[in-house]
Amino acid sequence: MAENLKPVALLILLLNLCMYIILAIIGGWALNVSIDRGFIIGPELRLPAHFHPIFFPIGNFATGFFVLFSLVAGVVGIASAMVGFTHLRFWNYHSMKPAVALGLFFYVLAIHGGSHGPVPVERRGNLA
């Protein structure tokens, strides 16, 4: 019965690989924009008052962490998809261990990267 599920697993793995590649491309683009448009501090200039070490000219202060973690998660996701393709090729217990371990590692990175996206909102007064 497990042999019948190989095409389904291959389709899901291809969709995940496409998602990881898109995530890495968007993260790389955002990192490139931040490098191109970032602060240029010369010897005669002082740092701005609210300087952030990971400065992104787009978004807010959480954007830098969100982009970096999603870029790392995209690269690890691509690696886990490659290990998944290896598991599909051999389809035995010994090839399943690295695929599951790297998949769980990617899942933890994706959760960690997504947790830096929301910004705490200061509540002003009663909303009722």
What are the pLDDT digits (tens) for 31-53? 888 888 766 666 666 666 666 66
Tell me if 116 sits within 8 A of 62, measured CB to CB.
yes
- pLDDT at residue 19 is higher than 80: yes
Instruction: Map out the domains of the chain as residue ranges.
Output: 9-36+53-115
For the chain, the straight-line distance linking the first and the last C-alpha, in angstroms and rounded, comes to 57
Tell me if 38 sits within 8 A of 55, measured CB to CB.
yes
Tell me if 22 sits within 8 A of 81, measured CB to CB.
no
Query: Whole-prediction pTM value?
Result: 0.73
Of 61-65, 72-76, 84-88, the range with the lowest mean pLDDT is: 61-65
Distance CA 16, CA 1 (A): 23
